[in-house]
Structure 1
Amino acid sequence: MSASDHHQQPHPSFEILGGGLHRFFPSLTHLTRPYNPFPFITWNRHVETIFASFFRSTPHVTLRRQCLRTKDGGSVALDWVSGDDRRLLPHAPLLILLPGLTGGSGDSYVRHMLVRARSKGWRVVVFNSRGCGDSPVTTPQFYSASFLGDMHEVVSHVSDRYPNANLYGVGWSLGANILVRYLGQESHNCPLSGAVSLCNPFNLVVSDEDFRKGFNKIYDKALSSALCKIFKKHALLFEDIGGEYNIPMVANAKSVREFDDGLTRVSFGFKSVDDYYFNSSSSDSIKHVQTPLLCIQ
């Protein structure tokens, strides 16, 4: 819901699909209360975003890192709350957090969710994708909106480690897109008991177009700068890669689109960056999702 909607409706709009109305709505009674935005900063969504980025505190949490080697030789980093194995029962509900593009366990929004879930007795693990959150990169391939291999391996590993726990997932932005695509691909066989999608772009073609308009260019530049920083840290892996890769463009990308065109879409076998965006959108996965899913935009 945008800031301009505050005067048009007393509370967020809410839609339930798939027959879950009578099962879940009674527990969400707070949605019927009027929405009272934070004073001064909620007149504009960009002000809200910038305020949270620069002024919101980052909770201190001691994490224990586990590096998981994937079947293709890649690596991802799983960050667990230190000491949870002593404090929590083996069957405590387990929450997998998927940060947004370039994000990781050190980001404020991830830490706040982690702390809130821990306060309710949940075991939490942050899934840092390849290169994100200082996760190691061991092959010339990062991650993408289309690639679900790492997600499958992380869920399988976590499930094997805590076989008696119900698993849940929360994803932001690109992490939400990956989560919803995973839910749709797994469909009736999904091992997750529930999931939440936060600020999911859903349609990456539309998202790409919006990124190149107005104030959104600021976000585009910031994210492309973060992507370039991750790439340069591991540039030696791509030194002699050849093929359709455009390494100079990747190293100096001024937009997420440039980065994806020079590297991401080539790594994952797409003909063009538009082909990559079209075929990696989670909007096409929704109809296959059979797991309880809450989407908050």
Structure 2
Amino acid sequence: MLLSLLSPSELWTGCVDCISRPCTLLLSLVTASLFCLWGRKGQVPLLVCGDGFRAFLQRHCPIVGERFCPTPWCWGGRLQTLVRVFIKSNTDVKYRNELIRTRDGGQLSLDWVDNSDSAKHPQSSTRPTVLLLPGLTGSSQQKYILTAIQQATRHGYRCVVMNNRGFGGEELLTPLTFCAADTSDVETVVNHIKELYPQAPLLGAGVSLGGMLLLNYLARKGRDSKIIAGLTMSVIWDSIESSESLEQPINKLLFNRHLAANLCLAIKRHRKVLEKVIDVDHVLKARTIREFDQRFTSVMFGYKSCTDYYKDASPVCRLQQTTVPVLCLNAADDPFSPKHAFPVALAQRMPNVALLMTAHGGHIGFLDGLFPKSESYMDRLLGQFVWAAFEHLEDLREACSIKEQLTE
């Protein structure tokens, strides 16, 4: 009876109010829950290192002591890893490409950002340089590389990206690609940079596989590395543990097969060169990274087995040989690099190695804020650390108990 006394417009308005109130209430509850969860999950990353290195980082790289609040709707490391791929980068980077030859007759593609109009470091001969090493199937076009360049160039520094063989757009001149254990290409690039700019300090920054290459290079070269400091982000510490983690059903579906497919595409692209030394058709049937490494990488680089290759490629096995200061960022929920493989005990004993571990962040994720942007926690850390290393080098040497001239 009461409904019949209402006009159609009044009845519609009442219905809308009845519907909207629960929706508004639900939205408010969800928003409040997200902020509550966001606040609870946010915490200061765990920093494991010597007292001297810790004091240096807290003084000149304060982000290591700030609370990291991961994006609340990115549940877990897997989602952090996936969402980062879809975050658009508004960074416009114009490269100067250079091809250099290697000892085996191959070539490497280097993409430079000279930053020649730098006001802070106008002299090209002494302008600090950041060498960036991308991940497994990455190149200079990856969003995390572009953002890293933005961070470094705003301080007036020069950047150069080493594209791994077969992934920089250049042709493969010899039947040889790359692997995490072979640091000859990194050495070639470092020597080339120092020949061009012998007076300019050089810092290395590696992401994922790039971090493995950097750490293995620094360990092998020791005091002759020609690099003043290193920074790794989402590095794979133990290749065997990483492979087992990536072969878990969900990780295999989300990441492993996709990366294996990209590796196979690169092999297919350079088939004419590679089929001279490898069974390409057999390699192209690989469905996981381990299968690819069994059929291609370990064979290409002369290992008896994939296990032997993985042991040789794992930076944790030779980290103690590193002499330059190194800061390593990892997330405990990284599906590529499980936390039980982090060299915590070793970092506690070494004066020049610092592990910075967040509870969340995934693999090359580290998205924070309610609405994440292209500049993540990882990117801001890079910006602060390269500035701290270049502008306070003497303090860094003293903090890490390194007396020798690392730039020699």
Q: Same fold (TM over 0.5)?
A: yes
Q: Could you give the per-residue CA deviations for residues 192-245 of structure 1, whole angstroms, max 9, x where no partner exists?
A: 01110111111101111111013211211111111111111100012332xxx4
Note if 1:80 corresponds to 2:112: yes
Aligned to 2:60: 27
Q: Distance in 2 between matches of 1:173 and 1:33?
A: 23
Unaligned runs of 5+ in 1: none
Q: Distance in 2 between matches of 1:284 and 1:188?
A: 18
| Pairwise CA distance, 1:9 | 7.2
* 1:1-297 correspondence to structure 2 within 5 Å: 7=40, 10-17=43-50, 19-41=52-74, 43-57=75-89, 59-81=91-113, 84-85=115-116, 87=118, 88-90=122-124, 91-217=126-252, 218-241=254-277, 245-297=278-330
What is the identity, as a one-letter code, of the residue corresponding to 2:59? P
Q: Distance in 1 between matches of 2:250 and 2:123?
A: 47
What is the identity, as a one-letter code, of the residue corresponding to 2:260? S
| Pairwise CA distance, 1:5 | 11
Q: Distance in 1 between matches of 2:51 and 2:136?
A: 30
Q: Could you give the per-residue CA deviations for residues 235-280 of structure 1, whole angstroms, max 9, x where no partner exists?
A: 0012332xxx442221232111111111111111100111110111
Q: Distance in 2 between matches of 1:239 and 1:34?
A: 51
SS, match of residue 228 in structure 2: strand
| Pairwise CA distance, 1:59 | 2.0
Q: Could you give the per-residue CA deviations for residues 26-52 of structure 1, whole angstroms, max 9, x where no partner exists?
A: 2233333332222322x2211111111
Contact kept? 1:194, 1:291, Cα under 8 Å: yes
What is the identity, as a one-letter code, of the residue corresponding to 1:64? R
Q: Distance in 1 between matches of 2:308 and 2:50?
A: 29
Q: Distance in 1 between matches of 2:39 and 2:176?
A: 43
Q: Distance in 2 between matches of 1:129 and 1:288?
A: 25
Aligned to 2:377: none
| Pairwise CA distance, 1:68 | 1.0
Aligned residue pairs total 289
What is the identity, as a one-letter code, of the residue corresponding to 1:119? R
Backbone CA RMSD of aligned residues: 2.0
SS, match of residue 133 in structure 1: coil
| Pairwise CA distance, 1:102 | 1.1
Contact kept? 1:203, 1:282, Cα under 8 Å: yes
Q: Could you give the per-residue CA deviations for residues 56-99 of structure 1, whole angstroms, max 9, x where no partner exists?
A: 32522111110111011111100012x63465422111000000
Percent identical among aligned pairs is 30
Q: Distance in 2 between matches of 1:287 and 1:239?
A: 39
| Pairwise CA distance, 1:23 | 3.5
Q: Distance in 2 between matches of 1:9 and 1:17?
A: 25
Contact kept? 2:99, 2:108, Cα under 8 Å: yes
Contact kept? 1:205, 1:278, Cα under 8 Å: yes
What is the identity, as a one-letter code, of the residue corresponding to 1:105? S
Q: Distance in 1 between matches of 2:207 and 2:67?
A: 25
Q: Which of 1 and 2 has greater Rg?
A: 2
Contact kept? 1:74, 1:137, Cα under 8 Å: yes
**CA gap 1:192/1:236 in 2 versus in 1, 3 angstroms:** same
SS, match of residue 185 in structure 1: helix
Contact kept? 1:106, 1:133, Cα under 8 Å: no
